[in-house]
Amino acid sequence: MRPTAQIQKIKVLIADDHAIMRAGLRQILADTPNIAVTGDTESGLEAVRMHRLRPVDVLLLDISTPGHDGLDTLKQIKNEFPHLAVLMLSMQHEDHYAIRTLKAGAAGYLSKRSAPAELVKAICELAAGRTYISAALAQSLAKQLIENKDGPLHATLSDREYQTLIMIASGKSVSDVAATLTLSVKTISMYRSRLLEKLKLRHNAELTHYAIKHHLV
């Protein structure tokens, strides 16, 4: 009798600051025979340490992990592990950070609102060496490209300026933003001044209006 061939499982690591979300992702993937979750953490920096000790095939990375922003963590990971496939997860509108994360080295971008089957599909695509974005996101990006050939003004913002824009437009104060990004209030105030200048805006009210108009919040 021939031995049953062992399935080569895709090793996955989860980094998300919500325990319920991590548990939910684990449960979804536990029902998938060819995927094995080797660990999870609330911290992007801890995920880096865990991967050093026990390498994985795909990292699921929340874009808003505490202490070290998801984009910063992504850049660090790609600098140290350029071949690690990273799937960015976000609760925000799909196209908010999609282009920025893909440019920073992410192999895929997915909304946490996506169906479990799409998450599994994305992981399999990344493990096979391909990239993944949802059909809805692809349509949205194509529409933006057609309607804004030169790109919207917020496309000229740096990652930190863009993060500051989104957070202030979402109701956070400069001090709140500073605490979230673990930066000084002076630094965030500088980012705010720069983004207002680039977007040709005068104050937070106009900034919020701009964000709403462009479906950023």
In sequence order, the 6+-apart residues with CB closer than 8 A to the CB of 136 are: 94
The rounded distance, in Å, linking the Cα atoms of 172 and 38 is 35
Residue with the two structure tokens 């937070």: 204
Dihedral sign (CA 181, 186, 188, 190) = negative
| 49 phi, psi to nearest 5 deg | -65, -40
Cα–Cα distance for residue pair 78/57, rounded to 1 Å: 13
Q: Please, are residues 188 and 167 in contact by the beta-carbon 8 Å criterion?
A: no
In whole numbers, what is the pLDDT of the chain averaged over residues? 86
Q: Are 110 and 155 within 8 A, CB to CB?
A: no
Question: Counting every residue, how long is the chain?
Answer: 217
Query: How far is residue 78's CA from residue 161's CA, in Å, rounded to a whole number?
Result: 22
44-53 helix and 70-80 helix, angle to the nearest 10 degrees: 20
Pull the structure tokens for residue 82. 């350029």
At 158, the pLDDT band (50, 70, 90 cuts) reads confident
Tokens 């060819």 correspond to 34
pLDDT tens digit sequence for 128-152: 999 998 887 887 777 766 665 556 7
pLDDT tens digits, 75-133: 888 889 999 999 999 876 556 678 888 888 999 999 888 889 999 999 999 999 999 98
Strand order in the sheet with 132-133: 35-41, 10-15, 58-62, 85-90, 108-111, 132-133
CA dist., res. 215 & res. 203, Å (int) = 19
What is the per-residue pLDDT for 144? 65
| pLDDT over 90 percentage in the chain | 41
Q: What domains can be seen in the chain, in order of their start residue?
A: 10-142 (3.40.50.2300), 153-213 (1.10.10.10)
Dihedral sign from CA coordinates of 171, 74, 65, 109 = positive
pTM of the model: 0.71
